[in-house]
Amino acid sequence: MASKELIEKVGRYIDKYYKPENEKGATNQKRQSVLDKVTDFRKKHGIEKRQEVLRETPVDYKANMSAFDESDTGRLKEIKAIKAMPQAMMANRNIEDIISQMEETFSQRLLRMIDERGMTDSEAYTKAYIDRRHFSKIRKDVNYAPNKKTVLAFTIALELSLDEAKDLLCSAGFALSRSSKTDIIVAFFLQNKIYDMYEINDVLYAYGQPVFG
């Protein structure tokens, strides 16, 4: 079960970044109510409490403002995302590698990332809570167009950095959006290198967002 401390940290992260499209003001979550939701979710799904040591990496809100696009409508062109990369990020990447990967489709990029991490296909799609038939479609169709939830699931399963996650999303035509609590929550976990899908689902459920799986 996600701890009270973790849920409150995510709540502060949401308060900092969330910009709803059709409402004004900051979010006003009741933390105790959120904890009750997590408990109910665990009981409903029969998931045993897991004793995980949380990473205490502080979140640099200012440095990570670039993680979110103001909107998430339409198909994005990857060249736009690359031009928007912070200078510090570009400095850590080989420009030739970036150019060579610009034309990769989502399927191509995903499969490359799986291979680079020494994972098998089954390890990757199982950790992402994606079924075998769904993954088979991704592998067979180089131009497969996934939904955003599928891409986000793989960013967690492959334990991507926030920058790598943004690249994978962009290859599918998506970006992290400040108008989506799901995006903000996933970004928090990626930024803090917490890849426990049980805890992520706990927090998503607590804040009224669809869970993975």
170 plus 124 within the same structural domain:
yes
pLDDT at 175 over 80: yes
Largest CA distance in the chain: 50
Position 207 confidence tier, pLDDT thresholds 50, 70, 90: very high
| Of 12 and 82, the one with more pLDDT | 12
Cβ-based neighbour number of residue 51 at 10 Å: 6
Residue-range definition of the domain harbouring residue 183: 1-72+177-213
Q: Is residue 83 located within the same domain as residue 54?
A: no
88-134: pLDDT as tens digits:
444 555 666 655 556 899 999 999 999 999 999 999 999 999 999 99
- DSSP label at 117? T
Q: Supply the pLDDT for residue 103.
A: 80
Residue type, 9: K
Q: Indicate whether 44 and 93 sit together in one domain.
A: no
Whether residue 57 is found in the same domain as residue 140: no
CA 135 from chain centre, in angstroms, equals 18
pLDDT at residue number 93: 58
Q: How far is CA 69 from the centre of its chain?
A: 14
Indicate whether 86 and 66 sit together in one domain. Answer: no
Q: Grade residue 53 by pLDDT with cuts at 50, 70 and 90.
A: very low
Whether the pLDDT of residue 25 is over 60: the answer is no
Query: What pLDDT, on the 0 to 100 scale, is given for residue 1?
Result: 74
Model's pTM, two decimal places? 0.71
Query: Other C-beta atoms within 10 Å of 192: how many?
Result: 19
Counted domains in the chain = 2
Q: Are residues 90 and 167 in the same domain?
A: yes
Measure the CA–CA gap between 1 and 198, rounded to whole angstroms.
8
If one compares 92 and 139, the residue with the highest pLDDT of the two is 139
Please give the single-letter amino acid code of residue 164. Answer: E
Residue ranges of alpha helices (H) inside 103-172 are: 106-116, 121-127, 132-140, 148-157, 162-171
Between these two residues, 64 and 164, which has the higher pLDDT value?
Answer: 164
Quickly tell me which residue has 């109910």 as its tokens.
Answer: 40
Could you tell me the CATH number of the domain that includes residue 101? Answer: 1.10.260.40
Task: Answer yes or no: is pLDDT of 27 > 50.
Answer: no
Q: Is the pLDDT of residue 23 over 50?
A: yes
Judged by DSSP in three states, 52 sits in coil
Both 89 and 148 in one domain: the answer is yes
Q: Give the Cα-Cα-Cα angle 110, 182, 26 (nearest 5 degrees).
A: 145
pLDDT of residue 134: 97
